[in-house]
Amino acid sequence: MPMKSILAAGAAVGVLSVVMPVQAQETVNAVMERGALRCGVNTGLAGFSNPDSEGNWEGLDVDVCRAIAAAMLGDPDAVEFTPLTAQQRFTALQSGEVDVLSRNTTWTLTRDTSLGLNFAPVTFYDGQGFMVPADLGVTSALELSGATVCVQPGTTTELNLADYFRANEMEFEPVVIEQIDEVNAAFFAGRCDVYTTDASGLASIRATVAPNPADYIILPEIISKEPLGPVVRHGDDQFFDIVKWTVYALIEAEELGVTSENLEEMMGSSNPSVQRLLGVTPGMGEALGLSESWAHDAIAAVGNYGEIFERNVGVNTPLGLERGINDLWTRGGLMYAMPIR
């Protein structure tokens, strides 16, 4: 290779080494300068992201945003929530309208690649199901041939629905409606025989929207894998790392027995893993470009993953969900934090 070309290549590498870190910190810098995290959430799904009677957002996905804000800014209330429909969500993230999407969004290959997005760790493992009126008289999704089905467009739900009926040689008539409150109204008004979405969503809608929850049943079939979690833009590695490791910190805290209630007591633990997690042993915060109290602040704000789950969707909430596959790996579930060290 001629010397001039070698020098040119070296100069290009030098430029990249200077430019890339600046580009990689764009979102982090914007959040820090703004003093708030912009988080895209569902327009209203009880247990996951829903405004209360005073307009305060609450739910599992909301708590993830609050944890990220606490880790970055030391303040779980430094979040601007933007409600987004399924069709709006990706454009809002791509355009920079929101910094992170925490909105029951399924991780798929095409979304991960062609949309310019990165998926952080899963915060809720789900699967698609079907809800019907009890008086329809069916007990299995395989009895739904010829049914009208309420479904939202621009979702994996819409695609899975078509695949399932085709694979089982059944016919159906889709009733496609974008706004979730309009889908709910259509189903409970009898415009369609079946409502299909994530099973957790069906549990939420039946518990909080149905005129009489006992009049509706969720069929036993789960027809897909729906791993749900936060999403960020490609090309901003530092922000991706912060979102990713904040989720892991919430899971790790549960693994280590660190809760929002015993947090200050655990600061005195002799367990090296607890010391690293809570910043007693420094290094983890510096690696992320954050305060050493990043994980401590996140846990103090919303609790560990188990606390978040139980408070928002667990057995003592209207949704009444068991931990199941969303339990820790040590108890037979899929929740597993990468080592914080």
pLDDT digits (tens, 9 = 90+) for 267-321: 999 999 999 999 999 999 999 999 999 999 999 999 999 999 999 999 999 999 9
214, 84 Cβ separation under 8 angstroms? no
Q: What total of structural domains would you count in the chain?
A: 2
Q: Do 184 and 205 share a domain, yes or no?
A: yes
Q: Would 338 be classed as within a structural domain?
A: no
125, 325 Cβ separation under 8 angstroms? yes
Q: Do 308 and 260 share a domain, yes or no?
A: yes
The predicted model scores a pTM of: 0.89
124, 104 Cβ separation under 8 angstroms? yes
189-201 burial, b if ≥16 CB within 10 A, otherwise e? eeebbbbbbbbbb
Q: Single out the residue of 133, 119, 195 nearest to residue 158, CA to CA.
A: 195
Q: Do 111 and 258 share a domain, yes or no?
A: yes
DSSP annotation of 246 reads: H
Q: How confident is the model at residue 25 (pLDDT cuts 50, 70, 90)?
A: confident
Q: Do 189 and 320 share a domain, yes or no?
A: no
Q: Would 4 be classed as within a structural domain?
A: no
Note the pLDDT tens digit of each residue in 110-163: 999 999 999 999 999 999 999 999 999 999 999 999 999 999 998 999 999 999
Note the pLDDT tens digit of each residue in 173-231: 999 999 999 999 999 999 999 999 999 999 999 999 999 999 999 999 999 999 999 99
Q: Do 152 and 283 share a domain, yes or no?
A: no
Choose one of 197, 224, 251: the last residue of a domain. Answer: 224
Q: Do 106 and 253 share a domain, yes or no?
A: yes
21-31 burial, b if ≥16 CB within 10 A, otherwise e? eeebbebbebb
Range of the structural domain that residue 87 is part of: 22-125+228-331
Q: Do 251 and 174 share a domain, yes or no?
A: no
Choose one of 189, 224, 259: the last residue of a domain. Answer: 224
DSSP annotation of 49 reads: B
Q: Would 1 be classed as within a structural domain?
A: no
Q: Do 154 and 193 share a domain, yes or no?
A: yes
The answer to whether residue 239 scores a pLDDT higher than 80 is: yes
Choose one of 224, 241, 271: the last residue of a domain. Answer: 224
Q: Do 213 and 277 share a domain, yes or no?
A: no
Q: Do 103 and 236 share a domain, yes or no?
A: yes
Q: Do 168 and 214 share a domain, yes or no?
A: yes
Q: What is the pLDDT of residue 3?
A: 43
Q: Do 275 and 316 share a domain, yes or no?
A: yes
What CATH number does the domain containing 116 carry?
A: 3.40.190.10
